[in-house]
Amino acid sequence: MAGGFTLLKRYKIYISESFDPSFNLSVEEWLMDVCEADETVLFLWQNENTIVIGRNQNPYKECDLNKLKEDGVLLVRRLSGGGAVYHDLGNLNFTFIEPEDHYNVDNNMKIILDALSGFGIKGSFNGRNDLVAGDRKFSGNAFFSSNGMNCHHGTLLVDVDMEKLSRYLTVSPLKLKSKGIDSVKSRVINLKALSSEISVSGLKDSLIESFCDFYETEAEIESIGEKTLDLVACKAKYNSYEWNCSESPDFTVVLEEKFGWGLVEASLEISDGLIRSCRICTDAIFTEGFREMERRLIGEKFDRDSILEKIDFEYNGLRGAF
Amino acid sequence: MIIDLIADKFPGHDTAGKVGKINKKAGDPIKTVDTIFTIESGKGSIKYQSRCDGVLTELYISEGDTIKKGQVIGKAEGDAPKQASGQEPQKASYSFGIARPAQKPYEVDVAVVGGGPGGYVSAIRAAQNGKKVLLVEENRLGGTCLNHGCIPTKAILSSVDALEKIRNAESFGLEVKGIEASLKKIMQRKSGVVDTLVSGIEHLMDFNGIEVINGRAVVKDKKTLAVQNKSVDALIKFDKLIIAAGSKSISLPIEGADSDDILTSQELLSLTEVPASLTIIGGGVIGMEFAFIYSALGSKVNVVEFFPQILNNMDADVADTVRESAGQRGIKLYEGAKAQSMRTASDGTKIVEISKNNETGYIVSEKVAVAVGRRANLDSLDLDMLGVELNEKCNGIMVDEHMVTSNPDVYAIGDITNKIQLAHVASHQGIVASDNICGKDRRMFYEQVPGAIFTKPEIGHTGINEKDAKRQGIGYLVGKFPLMANGKAQAMGETDGFVKLLASMETRKIIGGTIVGVHATDMLSTISNVIASGMTMDDASHIIYAHPTTAESIHEALLVLDGRGIHFA
């Protein structure tokens, strides 16, 4: 007879001790692999000074890579879709991992909104994957699925440096046409501005409570860090140029610079992070060397250092263009 | 072979998305699970992975394109798509061309045909006994019980119970207005319950390491079965075989009975609109359960029963209680009446011709359902080739008390044996069969099979009733206690029914019991335990029953047996 048993679901909560985005994104990937059909997982984590771009975005377009490099801001591509976000330690990230059959974004949103209501914050889920207070967004959400597992993750802006957020998420000055996904600008607000009581650690506790209340369970809570979990191989991916840059959809970029000796305009087509075609136009009197430069650039990485190395022959004067 | 690559999975339940990063181009070699490209929509991102080893011959999309569900996005050339374990089955839209599924040989200790309450239980027990087990199911795990029988009717009945409680709200001092029942939503809830339980069995199969193949088993020879489905062409060599292929509804051999609009119990479980009126042929357990369900939902229900009494195996006082309750609800019973024909009027209304005491009558209703019993699926397998013989009546597979058929390597259990067609009998037969296969001497006895009938009020019965005792010439004592005299039943406003116990006059042992009324089916196990322990009515009356519970009426019935009931005079 059917009915002689019930399927107990298991609930687990993981909290990351690391602020390294490559580690935390590796943990998500690992959880997607190990999460069982009867489990629901909540993972809480933070990244230090990081721009996280969507799976099908172009870092060259979404941010000013030079500025990031100068200020030591990390850049990493995530597996979920959507737009670019800025993380610092004023931001708390959550991840829900669940198998297809009991995956329910509305439940997850309710857990988060319930947690916030404890601080007197009344948020809501807008139609566009954001949690908002009024018309201002405090949480961006994104999703991916693989082999019947689903990941729903998002940011919670508690006390983020808004000045940096807008500085780093400024669209690049490059003239760039990408086939990927563009970020949509939103008016954002820190939760701290809505409730003076809230803090990242307080919100963490409240999320755990709200998760347990919602599922009427005492979930196992586990701290994980780089010492307890070996994800070196996966981390290497998130730290690689190949993943973060080359995995962009194809794009074209026009680099333009005026020098004392004339105007130079280079049109490049980039695919898999490599320059596939290159066309340099100039009104300079001397044009020899530019054809050579085009030839040299084809097949090279679209990256400042690689390009500089290639054009750094006798035409030093062009350096400033890149 | 050439395979069309079809965009079949999108994030969430989206049906369109944007092509993100493309990782493979035409001409690239591809392996199963290689990511060809990423699809992104508002609901997230998902990888489009290769399902074959071979070459990506054509790719019609480019990054940034919008694609729709079902769109052919390219072609690949390679070997037959593999079904990666743990992934959901590939959709039918995935073209397999002319290729046949791959042949796969299996060698198992025990093969089970049928995944109902007999088959899946026997499979689990055989696996627990350390055997390598494979189960073949043509439809969904859980069989008739779970998909078209016990469970879905109980799920619907729970909705109906709630509805009746609300309707009677006033008698509890409550005022409720504007009650509306949606059969569609009731059926949705039912399907949800069934789906949860089916996935539970899938999980149990997985957990016990039982290989499940979906498809119809065909006998190849005495030691081999074949099963073919879209993804596998399996050849199964077994040491022992358990046949648990179940039964199906019987249709009546009368005019109009094979018409498409005559409903079976299975169809009664999936109506989305309540018929204005419904005639059910068959006043047995299935027919009466549906009569109460559809009556509560608003149908004008008629029941035609061939035997002189509805629930003909029950004692007359049991049937009386149910008859009275049916009458109060406006269910019209035609007992001792034979259905002669079923015709359709020009407006689609059904007309059932019945004869009772040599008089002919007509019943007119919107729908007609037939629930006159179930026939063993004897034609589901080539029993001759297996060397398996039928019983004397030729209505079931012949088995001994170990569940062995005439072929010592083949066992049969459940409805196909036509012993007693109940889920719990099938499950128990399954355990007996698997234990015997594993060298334990277990036998099947049918004297103590309990029954649960979900009429209003419900009925639970086990052991011998008065009819049986008279037929078998057993001298008996009866103790009967009405629920009317039970405090809890009064408090609940559920006073219909009684507890009736039979004791042997000779040994004073309890030999049977029937409970009619609220909680009857749940209370029944107490009586089963008393009978199984061989207790006399005197010993049994010394057990303390908690107050205030409906089960106290069992205690009272025990006391009444001895002529010393406390709360009933």
Using one digit for the tens of pLDDT, what is the confidence trace for B385-402? Answer: 999 999 999 999 999 999
A5 part of a folded domain: no
Asked if residue A260 and residue A115 are part of one domain, the reply reads no
Asked if residue B241 and residue B186 are part of one domain, the reply reads yes
Residue B528, SS3?
Answer: helix
> How many other C-beta atoms lie within 10 A of the C-beta of residue B371?
24
- Cis peptide preceding B253, ω within 30 of 0: no
Residue B557, SS3?
Answer: helix
| Residues, chain B | 569
| Contact: A145, B88; criterion CB under 8 Å | no
- For A7, A12, A219, B142, B185, the CA distances from B196, given in Å and listed in that order, are 9, 22, 22, 11, 17
- Looking at the partner chain, which of B38, B46, B145 has a beta carbon nearest the beta carbon of A2? B145
Model confidence at B289, in pLDDT bands (50, 70, 90)? very high
A1 part of a folded domain: no
* Strand A136-146, strand A130-133: pairing: antiparallel
Is residue B167's pLDDT more than 80? yes
Rounded CA-CA distance A237/A95 in Å is 20
Is residue B499's pLDDT more than 80? yes
- How large is the average pLDDT for residues B201-221? 94
For the record, the structure tokens of A30 come out as 């690992």
A186 part of a folded domain: yes
A3 part of a folded domain: no
- B281 CB burial (10 A radius; 0-12, 13-18, 19+): buried
- A8 CB burial (10 A radius; 0-12, 13-18, 19+): exposed
B203 is catalytic: no
Helix (H) or strand (E) holding B70: none
B254 part of a folded domain: no
Asked if residue B91 and residue B107 are part of one domain, the reply reads no
B504 part of a folded domain: yes
Domain carrying residue A310: 251-321
Asked if residue A307 and residue A195 are part of one domain, the reply reads no
CA distance between the termini of chain A: 73
Q: What is residue B98's predicted lDDT score, i.e. its pLDDT?
A: 36
Q: Which long-range contacts (CB under 8 A, 24 or more apart) does B180-189 make?
A: B181/B274, B181/B297, B181/B298, B183/B271, B183/B272, B183/B273, B183/B274, B183/B297, B184/B272, B186/B156, B186/B159, B186/B160, B186/B297, B187/B156, B187/B269, B187/B270, B187/B271, B187/B272, B189/B155, B189/B159
Q: What is the domain count for chain B? A: 4
- Residue A282's domain is classified under what CATH number? 3.30.390.50
> How many other C-beta atoms lie within 10 A of the C-beta of residue A278?
20
Asked if residue A52 and residue A182 are part of one domain, the reply reads yes
Is residue B438's pLDDT more than 80? yes
Helix (H) or strand (E) holding B370: strand B367-370
> Average model confidence (pLDDT) for chain B?
91
A31 part of a folded domain: yes
Asked if residue B365 and residue B379 are part of one domain, the reply reads no
Among the candidates B424, B449, B474, a domain finishes at B449
- How large is the average pLDDT for residues B301-325? 96
Helix (H) or strand (E) holding A279: strand A274-282
Asked if residue B236 and residue B106 are part of one domain, the reply reads yes
- For B127, B134, B236, B553, the CA distances from B131, given in Å and listed in that order, are 5, 10, 15, 46
Q: Model pTM greater than 0.90?
A: no
Rounded CA-CA distance A75/B505 in Å is 89
Beta bridge partners, A220, equal A12
Among the candidates B398, B415, B449, a domain finishes at B449
Asked if residue A287 and residue A314 are part of one domain, the reply reads yes
Is residue B507's pLDDT more than 90? yes
Set of chain B residues whose Cβ sits within 8 Å of the Cβ of A80: 44-45
Residue A42 · residue A99 · CB < 8 Å: no
- For B280, B370, B465, B485, the CA distances from B499, given in Å and listed in that order, are 29, 31, 12, 11
A173 part of a folded domain: yes
- B92 CB burial (10 A radius; 0-12, 13-18, 19+): exposed
Q: Which residues contact B206 (CB under 8 A, 6 or more apart)?
A: none
Q: What is residue B87's predicted lDDT score, i.e. its pLDDT?
A: 43
Q: Which residues contact B251 (CB under 8 A, 6 or more apart)?
A: B257, B258, B262, B264, B370
Asked if residue B63 and residue B176 are part of one domain, the reply reads no
| Contact: A81, B40; criterion CB under 8 Å | yes
> How many other C-beta atoms lie within 10 A of the C-beta of residue A184?
11
| Contact: B20, A56; criterion CB under 8 Å | yes
B120 or B7, greater pLDDT = B120
B222 part of a folded domain: yes
Set of chain B residues whose Cβ sits within 8 Å of the Cβ of A179: 62-64
* Nearest CA-CA distance, residue A148 and chain B, Å: 6
Rounded CA-CA distance A207/B10 in Å is 30
Among the candidates B347, B372, B397, a domain finishes at B372
Domain carrying residue B229: 101-249+374-449
| Contact: B21, A247; criterion CB under 8 Å | yes
Set of chain B residues whose Cβ sits within 8 Å of the Cβ of A142: 44-45
B567 part of a folded domain: no
Share of chain B above pLDDT 70, in %: 96
Among the candidates A246, A271, A297, a domain finishes at A246
- Residue B432's domain is classified under what CATH number? 3.50.50.60
Residue B96 · residue B81 · CB < 8 Å: yes
Asked if residue A170 and residue A98 are part of one domain, the reply reads yes
B257 part of a folded domain: no
Is residue B487's pLDDT more than 50? yes
- B77 CB burial (10 A radius; 0-12, 13-18, 19+): middle
Among the candidates A214, A246, A278, a domain finishes at A246
Beta bridge partners, A40, equal A11
Asked if residue B125 and residue B8 are part of one domain, the reply reads no
Name which of B108, B124, B127, B106 is nearest B116 in CA terms: B124
DSSP one-letter string for B399-463:
--TT-B-SSTTEEE-GGGG-S---HHHHHHHHHHHHHHHTT-------TT--EEE-SSS-EEEEE
Asked if residue A281 and residue A217 are part of one domain, the reply reads no
In B464-546, beta strands by DSSP E: 476-482, 498-504, 510-516
Q: What is residue A6's predicted lDDT score, i.e. its pLDDT?
A: 44
- Residue B10's domain is classified under what CATH number? 2.40.50.100
- Residue A208's domain is classified under what CATH number? 3.30.930.10
Residue A68 · residue A310 · CB < 8 Å: no
- B305 CB burial (10 A radius; 0-12, 13-18, 19+): buried
* Strand A262-271, strand A220-224: pairing: unpaired
Beta bridge partners, A278, equal A268
Asked if residue A288 and residue A151 are part of one domain, the reply reads no
B115 part of a folded domain: yes
- How large is the average pLDDT for residues B335-348? 94
Asked if residue B283 and residue B223 are part of one domain, the reply reads no
* Nearest CA-CA distance, residue B121 and chain A, Å: 8
Q: Establish if B195 touches chain A: CB-CB under 8 angstroms.
A: no
Residue A306, SS3?
Answer: helix
Q: Which residues contact A117 (CB under 8 A, 6 or more apart)?
A: none
Asked if residue B380 and residue B295 are part of one domain, the reply reads no
Residue B242, SS3?
Answer: strand
Asked if residue A228 and residue A279 are part of one domain, the reply reads no
| Contact: B44, A145; criterion CB under 8 Å | yes
- Select which of B402, B461, B547, B567 is catalytic: B547
B566 part of a folded domain: no
* Nearest CA-CA distance, residue B37 and chain A, Å: 10
Among the candidates A222, A246, A270, a domain finishes at A246
Is residue B286's pLDDT more than 80? yes
| Contact: A2, B197; criterion CB under 8 Å | yes
Asked if residue A313 and residue A233 are part of one domain, the reply reads no
Q: What is the domain count for chain A? A: 2
Asked if residue B543 and residue B423 are part of one domain, the reply reads no
Rounded CA-CA distance B63/A10 in Å is 39
pLDDT tens, position by position, B173-195? 999 988 889 999 999 999 999 99
Set of chain B residues whose Cβ sits within 8 Å of the Cβ of A105: 12
Asked if residue B283 and residue B215 are part of one domain, the reply reads no
For the record, the structure tokens of A72 come out as 């030591």
Asked if residue B106 and residue B244 are part of one domain, the reply reads yes
Residue B364: φ, ψ to 5°: -110, 130
Rounded CA-CA distance B43/B96 in Å is 29
Asked if residue A127 and residue A68 are part of one domain, the reply reads yes
B31 part of a folded domain: yes
- Residue B480's domain is classified under what CATH number? 3.30.390.30
Asked if residue A202 and residue A174 are part of one domain, the reply reads yes
pLDDT along chain A (322 residues), means of 10: 53 93 94 87 96 91 85 93 92 94 89 94 86 92 90 96 87 73 83 94 95 89 84 90 88 83 85 88 77 86 83 55 45
Q: ipTM of the assembly?
A: 0.78
3-state secondary structure A100-163: HHHCCHHHHHHHHHHHHHCCCCCCEECCCCEEEECCEEEEEEEEEEECCEEEEEEEEECCCCHH
Q: How many CB pairs under 8 A join A and B?
A: 100
Q: Establish if A142 touches chain B: CB-CB under 8 angstroms.
A: yes
Most A CBs within 10 A among B13, B63, B202, B454, hence the mutation to make, goes to: B63
Asked if residue B230 and residue B113 are part of one domain, the reply reads yes
Asked if residue A200 and residue A66 are part of one domain, the reply reads yes
A4 part of a folded domain: no
For the record, the structure tokens of A303 come out as 């990256």
